[in-house]
Structure 1
């Protein structure tokens, strides 16, 4: 499905990014995986919220692969948890800088390198299409990326470049475990109750796995989705609400 495609995946060192990179490789893509964590086994370690690092990243990717056919903007942080009046403004700004700023910088660096048939996939969240109590910074950043996806699809369509977003539901793994623990503290309840709430809010009563997102991502990167652009695809078992336990 992705034979001959050269794909950059950000945040590829662990979790969802690693699953996307692995799935893409399994479909024949050449993947340039990057991560900020120096202990991860990727092709390069860069801070994708930093403009100079982003320039170095894409220079290295082009040198290694000879060009770029697709980009997966996967990097994102959870940000602080709490009521709006209790949030640290600096923590709010940092969450937006990483989640929105990295998506903007990497896309801006990628577009001049893409030809017709190029594809950009932004990994968003169901928090980009629902309100998300106690998670103002995260929700703000994810709604912003949905807006950028729609805007860039319009800008780049005449050049044959597609831009789409995937909204994962609750992805099982250590990152979500941390979110659940922080929400439990913020609401004065237990992690078990919060996790049960996340499962109950989904029609299919399940969490999703990283490879579920990887499969959808690879389809959007492939020529099989050559006329799919400006779309926001939820892979989540049908989220009904993001209100789990009322604080």
Structure 2
């Protein structure tokens, strides 16, 4: 059975759908109080309704804006207590060949996928260190472990998330806090739905053909489910993972082999 600290409090960003929602629900089912954030308050409320008695604070935050992050974290801790487990899930994907990747797309991908992790972690981590316990799990991607064509800004941002994870893991190793990343492959989420629509628009393939093309990358020949990623996060957040630190765990059916 997965064990957590008594009265543990988790904060999940990007929890309105996909991996974030699945993670929030899995933590709540394990007895963890869960606060959630994102930009779409209606979607967040739908997730919160599935958390039952373990629902904590629900806050709309743009995690790319420092002042908003600081204010949101303060609201969450005032309402639901100190944060013991942070899951940095918020992010988005944008594609373009390198010669058509303009500064705006580059900045958006870095801000949404990397700067957001920096800002939220910085707002939470010092408190964890002072209390001598904590878990930070960053949702990166297999794009943080290998390269993919036509998504250079996204790949660079996710590599940055993995690098930040490893650096902070060493810096906080003696303070009772572990910092790890999960790196999902193509997962059946709204992000992949957007990628599928992009393939359909650009190639004329059917939606089923586009989804099959993405699934083919996985040696299991299928998309990963949000719940499978959530289960990996659940383990990393638990007391039993106290010696797992600075790792980037691929959840991708063997697409990327780490070791």
TM-score (norm 1): 0.92
Structure 1 runs not aligned, ≥5 long: 242-247
Aligned to 1:83: 97
Moved over 6 A (4+): none
Q: Is the 8 A contact 1:36 1:47 kept in 2?
A: yes
Aligned to 1:119: 135
Q: Structure 2 CA distance, aligned partners of 1:11 and 1:104?
A: 15
Q: Report the alpha carbon displacement of residue 116 of structure 1 after superposing the two structures with TM.
A: 2.3
Q: Secondary structure at the match of 2:41?
A: coil
Q: Structure 1 CA distance, aligned partners of 2:256 and 2:36?
A: 33
Q: Is the 8 A contact 1:117 1:226 kept in 2?
A: no
Aligned to 1:105: 119
Q: Report the alpha carbon displacement of residue 13 of structure 1 after superposing the two structures with TM.
A: 1.3
Q: How does 1:139-218 map to 2 (within 5 A)?
A: 139-186=155-202, 189-218=205-234
Q: Structure 2 CA distance, aligned partners of 1:173 and 1:7?
A: 22
Q: Report the alpha carbon displacement of residue 88 of structure 1 after superposing the two structures with TM.
A: 2.6
Cα RMSD of the aligned pairs, angstroms, is 1.7
Q: Report the alpha carbon displacement of residue 91 of structure 1 after superposing the two structures with TM.
A: 1.5
Q: Report the alpha carbon displacement of residue 190 of structure 1 after superposing the two structures with TM.
A: 4.9
Q: Structure 1 CA distance, aligned partners of 2:35 and 2:155?
A: 28
Aligned equivalent of 1:57, options 72, 86, 102: 72
Q: Report the alpha carbon displacement of residue 87 of structure 1 after superposing the two structures with TM.
A: 2.0
Q: Structure 1 CA distance, aligned partners of 2:203 and 2:163?
A: 30
Q: Secondary structure at the match of 1:233?
A: strand
Q: Is the 8 A contact 1:127 1:143 kept in 2?
A: yes
Q: Report the alpha carbon displacement of residue 158 of structure 1 after superposing the two structures with TM.
A: 1.5
Aligned to 2:55: none
Q: Structure 2 CA distance, aligned partners of 1:153 and 1:187?
A: 42
Q: Structure 1 CA distance, aligned partners of 2:154 and 2:202?
A: 15
Q: CA separation of 1:107/1:206 partners in 2, compared to 1, >3 Å: closer, same or farther? A: same
Q: Structure 2 CA distance, aligned partners of 1:77 and 1:101?
A: 12
Aligned to 1:244: none
Aligned to 2:54: none
Q: Report the alpha carbon displacement of residue 92 of structure 1 after superposing the two structures with TM.
A: 1.5
Q: CA separation of 1:48/1:12 partners in 2, compared to 1, >3 Å: closer, same or farther? A: same
Q: Structure 2 CA distance, aligned partners of 1:169 and 1:49?
A: 24
Structure 2 runs not aligned, ≥5 long: 49-57
Aligned to 2:53: none
Equivalent residue pairs, number: 240
